[in-house]
Amino acid sequence: MSVKVEQFPFPFTEDRYAYSNNSSLLKPARSITITDHYLKEIQLKRELLQANHKRCFRSLPISLESQWEAMRRIFAELAQSESEHFSLEKRGNEYRFQNHLLGEEERFTYRDSSSIELQPLDIAGRHVQEDLIIMGDRHDGLFLEAGQLCFPSNWSLTFVLGMEFKSIHTPVPGIDQNDFISKVERFISRIRLNEAWERKNWSMTISNMLDTPLETYANWGKLRLKVTDKNVGEMVHLRVEVQRLLRLPMTNDILFSIHTYLLSLNDLIQNDLWLKRLYTTIQFLSDDIAEYKGIALYKNELIQFLEKTLNEKGLSL
């Protein structure tokens, strides 16, 4: 089994999928993970920011304090957890962050915007593989107040900037059943200071494209029409977002990090348990969720491929 498969965060723990708050507490509390794809993904991130900055970074003025806190927190975490690759020096309010993987450094005076050329979250995001979101925790709800989003799965940062948590998730089918989204928002609002929680979100995507924003749907969405029983194993990828929520202690806002992983079906079927679990999950997936997860147009080809592979391996369900 390849290293890529071994390191992939397979999302399914049951044979049937249902929306749930499957979050787990992280100890120690961390927002960032460095993988073997670091250099490649950072290069892609920066290319996207250069070409489409207004699409990939957005913020409201109210988010600035949280951005400063998030940047310092991320740099400190990297220096502590990946000390062979990153370091952070502090003298009073003066900071020097060194990224030894890239041979770069960032110098800044904390909370002094004249000491930096970009906004703090935009700087921090250029050194990590994760997309970064600031959710402002206000008395009347959680609001998306800033974000660097280079690898979205069919959504638009520009569209949701300033929106409340529940409104952002309105397109998700069945999300309002049993007051589910309100329960999730209450859970987030109760996250303690310096506490981090992790969950996995999943979808299916065509090719190994990380950047699939709503704005370019016309370019990548049509690829779904090209899936056949001959190329499904190569074209279709399981996309998993490892989402982490961390409470910033000074501003009390939420730092939401999203690390995206892709694995082709040809790679995934190396793991027999994953193969069986994905098959049962897709087989019993409702039509509305299949549409939302990006599967509807090639669901039959996908199921046939998985069934054929199960039979070839002599695996029973």
For 142, the token pair is 């959680």
Beta-ladder partners of 94 = 91, 109
- Four-point Cα dihedral 208, 77, 13, 307, nearest 10: 10
For 251, the token pair is 């501003």
DSSP 36-54: TTHHHHHHHHHHHHHH-HH
Residue 84, pLDDT score: 98
Q: For residues 258 and 242, what is the distance between their CA atoms, to the nearest angstrom?
A: 6
- Residue 75 has φ and ψ, to the nearest 5°, of -65, -40
Query: Could you report the per-residue pLDDT of 7-64, keeping only the tens digit for each?
Result: 999 999 987 887 777 899 999 999 999 999 999 999 999 999 999 999 999 999 999 9
Q: Listing from the earlier edge strand, what are the strands of the sheet with 104-109?
A: 86-91, 94-99, 104-109
The CA–CA distances, whole Å, from 161 to 58, 137, 156, 216, 226 equal 7, 14, 9, 18, 33
From the CA atom positions of the chain, what is the Rg in Å?
20
Mean pLDDT on 252-277: 98
**The pTM of the whole model exceeds 0.85:** yes
- Four-point Cα dihedral 110, 116, 120, 125, nearest 10: -130
Helices (H), 140-286: 157-160, 165-168, 180-189, 217-220, 232-235, 265-268, 272-283
Residue tagged active-site, from 72, 199, 244, 277: 199
Residue 140, pLDDT score: 86
Angle CA(128)–CA(21)–CA(156) in degrees, nearest 5? 50
Domain ranges (residues) in the chain = 3-312
The CA–CA distances, whole Å, from 88 to 30, 71, 77, 262, 263 equal 17, 12, 9, 31, 34
Residue 22, pLDDT score: 83
16 a catalytic residue:
no
Beta-ladder partners of 23 = none
**Is the separation of the CB atoms in 201 and 243 below 8 Å?**
yes
Query: Could you report the per-residue pLDDT of 183-222, keeping only the tens digit for each?
Result: 999 999 999 999 999 999 999 999 999 999 999 999 999 9
- At residue 164 the predicted structure's pLDDT band, cuts being 50, 70 and 90, is very high
Query: Could you report the per-residue pLDDT of 124-138, keeping only the tens digit for each?
Result: 999 999 999 999 999
Three-class SS of residue 281? Answer: helix
The answer to whether residue 179 scores a pLDDT higher than 90 is no
Q: For residues 209 and 205, what is the distance between their CA atoms, to the nearest angstrom?
A: 8
Beta-ladder partners of 133 = 147, 256
For 185, the token pair is 């928002």
